[in-house]
A and B are shown apart, each in its own frame.
Chain A
Amino acid sequence: MDGSSELKKTPLHALNVSLGGRMVPFAGYEMPVQYTAGVMKEHLHTRTAAGLFDVSHMGQVTVRARSGDNADAARALETLVPVDVVGLGEGRQRYALFTNDEGGILDDLMIANRGDHFYVVVNAACKDQDFAHMQAKIGDVCELTLHDDRALVALQGPHAESVLAELWADISSMRFMDVRACDLHDADCIVSRSGYTGEDGFEISIPAALAETVCRRLLDHPDVLPIGLGARDSLRLEAGLCLYGNDIDTGTTPVEGALEWAIQKVRRKGGEREGGFPGASVILDQLENGAARRRIGLRAEGRAPVRSGAVLATDPEGEDVVGTVTSGGFGPNVDGPVAMGYVIKSAIAPGTQLYAGVRGKFLPVTVAAMPFVTNTFKR
């Protein structure tokens, strides 16, 4: 494993190793791809009880207006994302996208209004460039801090609420996408009711020095298992959620990525704060007129997983190519292959029969609505 000595470690590295985590390089970090239970059991356990994920490799950034007025930070952030940040209430969080001048996606992220500042969580592989991007574009108006001094974990699954409430009361009143400060085990934590699995659950930011203590307390609960990156990927895929770098990137726009829902009316044509973000002309036009291609879900008829890179055609000979798979694998709850990819406009309707190239054969697949499993968010 060349270069492993240069890999960064999260504050939970020692705990991950002690739990039997099989450590692999991921986004510059040494991360657990699975623990002793294995990907299949970890996935299913998260959907029936609760799973704890170390996601400390992700970037946590605070955005504080130099003026002291949080509305200035909101307006600054709106110059980077096609999202309503000004209208985001205190204690609320929203999904967002950093766009570039061509309308492509630089990263996807979460933005939370913490009252006197905004708290932003970005992808691990993008965090340095995201931070530089924010610094260059809004650094004059906002003081930006990348918090490498905090761990981030996700507790996901139908028992996540009861587990967390048993240990620390007062989280049951939180709704999906609420964010609040919370003392867990005397650790000054930030808890949001959100996640990346399609299940109800929480993401918890913890000071690095106390992260292991808090996680051990959660893992002591009989309903909680540690979950690795392998199951994280299969869970998010079943939930129809994008993986940045696979399903969305600088070559895809939010409209092509079927992420229009993330762009509120107030930022669209005719809205009070129309446009004003990078690539607005491209994205606003696509919102009105559609894009030439679109991200869709796929179900396979057989058992063979259809994976990233597979070509999609309208015929079993694979001659009329209409798109490509960007993420695919086996869905343990679906009990079959699931995938997502991009196809041209004429092939996006659910039920459309396509053929995916797998090892020289073209296997029948069907365009399907996402998510592949019903999400259980507490709205």
Chain B
Amino acid sequence: MLKFTEEHEWLKIEGGVATVGITVHAAEQLGDLVFVELPEVGATFEKGGDAATVESVKAASDVYCPLDGEIVGVNEAITADPSLVNSDPQGAGWFFKLKLANVSDADGLMDEAAYKELVG
């Protein structure tokens, strides 16, 4: 199940765990990333909490936690090479895996068609 947020994140939800990243649109808007800071495995966040930080040459931006949950995995490959987020944002450039507090929370997020409408 692929879901999207208004903050331009995608969630691929399998068995109560969401793999989270930023959308192609978000990666294009941010431009070339030079630094990524990921959360600690085991950290818990509420929806909207600052889970990660990305920095382009020009500016820093927060990546919000899309739903309540616990971090159960992070993608160290993007801290070693932030450009992966630009080259493959919805694949190899994923950010973290989030064990959802309530799987049904995801029902409130957008599907791909609705997200495409949002970003035009």
CB B60 to nearest CB in A, in angstroms, measures 7
From B32, B35, B37, A40 is in contact (CB under 8 Å) with B32
CB distance from A231 to the nearest CB of B (A): 8
In the complex, which residues of chain B have a beta carbon less than 8 angstroms from the beta carbon of A234?
A: 57-58
Q: Mark A25-60, 1 if CB is under 8 A from B, else 0.
A: 000000001100011110100000000000000000
Which one of A219-227, A301-309, A370-378 is at the interface? A301-309
Tell whether A364 is near chain B: CB-to-CB under 8 Å: no
Say whether A329 faces chain B, with CB atoms less than 8 Å apart. Answer: yes
- Name the residue on A nearest B29 (C-beta): A22
Determine whether the beta carbon of A305 is less than 8 Å from that of B55. yes
Q: Which of A34, A233, A303, A307 contacts B31 (CB 8 A)?
A: A34
Minimum C-beta distance from B25 to chain A (A): 14
Q: Evaluate contact between A305 and B34: CB separation under 8 angstroms.
A: yes
Please state if B58 and A303 are interface contacts (CB–CB under 8 Å): no
CA distance A217 to B34 in the complex (A): 34
Give Cα A330 to B33, complex, Å.
Answer: 10
Tell yes or no: B87 within 8 A of A by CB: no
Known: A33-B58, A230-B58. A330 touches B31 (CB 8 A): no
A359 located at the interface, meaning its Cβ lies under 8 Å from any Cβ of chain B in the complex:
yes
Q: In the bound complex, do residue A39 and residue B31 qualify as a contact, i.e. CB atoms below 8 Å apart?
A: yes
Closest chain A residue to B28 by CB distance? A38
A109 to chain B, nearest CB (A): 25
A332 beta carbon closer than 8 Å to chain B: yes
Residue contact B58 to A233, C-beta cutoff 8 Å: yes
B37 and A330 contact, CB distance less than 8 A: no
A34 CA / B58 CA spacing, docked (Å): 11
What band does the interface of chain A fall in when counting residues whose beta carbon is under 8 Å from B? 10 to 19
Q: Residues of B contacting A233 with CB < 8 Å?
A: 58
Q: B32 touching A39 by the CB < 8 A rule?
A: yes
C-alpha spacing A40/B35, complex, angstroms: 13
| Partner among A33, A34, A39, A359 whose Cβ is within 8 Å of the Cβ of B53 | A359
CA distance A33 to B32 in the complex (A): 13
Q: Smallest distance from the beta carbon of B86 to chain A beta carbons, Å?
A: 9
| B contact residues around A330 at 8 Å (CB) | 34-35, 55-57
How many residues of B are in contact with the other chain, CB < 8 A? 12
Q: How many angstroms from the CA of A313 to the CA of B53 in the assembled complex?
A: 23
List, in ascending order, chain B residues with CB within 8 A of A303's CB: 34-35
Binding site of A, secondary structure by majority: helix, strand, loop or mixed?
mixed
Most buried by B among A34, A305, A307: A305
Contact residues in A for B37 (Cβ distance below 8 Å): 304, 359
Q: Tell me the smallest distance from the CB of B57 to a CB of chain A, in Å.
A: 4
Contact A332–B35 (Cβ < 8 Å): no
Digit string of A347-379 for contact with B (CB within 8 Å is 1, else 0)?
000000000000100000000000000000000
Chain B residue nearest to A233 (CB atoms) is B58
B32 touches A329 (CB 8 A): no
Output the least CB separation between B76 and chain A (Å).
13
Contact A307 B60 (CB under 8 A): yes
Interfacial residues of chain A within 38-91, with CB under 8 A of chain B in the complex? 38-41, 43
Chain A residues near B56 (CB, 8 Å)? Answer: 39, 330
Find out whether the CB atom of B32 lies under 8 angstroms from the CB atom of A304: no
Please state if B35 and A230 are interface contacts (CB–CB under 8 Å). Answer: no
Compute how far the CA of A329 lies from the CA of B31 in the bound complex, rounded to whole angstroms. Answer: 14
Query: Which residue in B31, B32, B35 is a CB contact (below 8 Å) of A305?
Result: B35
Q: How far is the CB of A328 from chain B (nearest CB, A)?
A: 10
- Jot down 22 A-B pairs with beta carbons below 8 A, ordered by A: A33-B58, A34-B31, A38-B31, A39-B32, A39-B58, A40-B31, A40-B32, A41-B32, A230-B31, A303-B34, A303-B35, A304-B35, A304-B37, A304-B55, A305-B34, A305-B35, A305-B55, A329-B58, A330-B34, A330-B35, A330-B56, A330-B57
15 additional A-B residue pairs with CB within 8 Å, beyond A39-B57, A307-B60: A33-B58, A38-B31, A39-B32, A40-B31, A40-B34, A43-B57, A230-B58, A234-B57, A307-B59, A329-B57, A329-B58, A330-B35, A330-B55, A359-B37, A359-B53
10 smallest CB-CB distances across A and B, nearest first, come from A40-B32, A330-B34, A39-B57, A230-B58, A330-B57, A303-B35, A305-B55, A234-B57, A38-B31, A38-B32
